[in-house]
Structure 1
Amino acid sequence: MTLKHTLYLIVLLLTIPMVSQEKSPSETFWATLQSHCGNAYEGTLALPEEDEAFGGKRLVMHLRACSENEIKIPFYVGDDKSRTWILTMNEGILTLKHDHRHEDGTEDDITLYGGTASNVGKSDFQFFPADAYTQKMLPAAATNVWWITIDETTFTYNLKRLGTDRVFKVVMDLTKSIEAPEAPWGWKK
């Protein structure tokens, strides 16, 4: 190879944009969630063991609506179809919001609270401290932290209100997809 050809090759290589094949932990987490899109799963309440609102009721999540930057996961508690977890991806950082609806589809007064991850997290664990919107809407929730874990067999949704005994954990079984439930309240289809 001549010097001219070598220099040409070096210049060519330097002008080709380098694309990293490695995903960030949040992108891997997102891809794992996306792989379940369209599926519904049943789960159990792990904490608190005795809970009036959730205890003894059928718990189902449905990864119902997925796009490149948003995943909507209705969460059904018995016949209550008021809750949807909304995860969004923006520049590699995830946000979790809680959409609450009445049976007629109108927004609850307490809706769209949540938080944004402070970093890319881990590929199987994302952490969401309460944001300013949440703190303003629900001052008692200013110390809320939510986290979601996912692996080959389970998805967990967790809540801890720091400085209190408030804790909540639901464990969903990803090994068995179930029939998709009806649309949650406020959804057209």
Structure 2
Amino acid sequence: MDKLQEGAEIQLSKIKITYRKYLDMITPHSAYRWIGSFSLIFLFMLRIVLTEGWYIVCYTWAIYLLNMFLQFLTPKFDPSLEQEFENESIEQGTSKMTEEDDEFKPFIRRLPEFRFWLKTTNATLIALVCSIIPFCDIPVFWPILLVYFIILFALTMRRQIQHMLKYKYLPFDLGKTKYAGNSK
């Protein structure tokens, strides 16, 4: 029995190493990764539309992706929490920061792009598998789910954009100053 268990552990270890190897190989190719993910998303959406079912699976998948997208847009160190900490330390008299301290803090995402891609792809694959299982096809009135998701998306994005404007951070490189290096 022990030899069988050891053999299974060795095979599992080999599978993990191979999986990690392929992930490492595709890491620098972000455009191709996202094209593959959007192809999977297109297949999943096509399946939902053509079969006219599995709306709960689609809704759950969409809520999960919205959550991942919010984590992707949010900084790792939340400025609102840092501001509360600074206010508490000022009240206690322990703050050493002055108003002239305007230190550069780079934008670090709570969820890095690669992990966002990986979780999106995994969630889409799981949703595709669930859309094959008849047990997961729970009958619902899909327009209500769609309207609820649109409202949830709009309110959540509005709150996130207000947070970005209040604390003056931009999670994308669009509109940021780019400096040219010495071209000698």
Bucket of the pairwise TM-score, normalised by the shorter protein: under 0.3
TM-score w.r.t. structure 2 length?
0.24
Between structures 1 and 2, the one with greater helix share: 2
Between structures 1 and 2, the one with greater strand share: 1
TM-score w.r.t. structure 1 length?
0.24
Greater relative contact order structure (CA < 8 Å, 6+ sep): 2
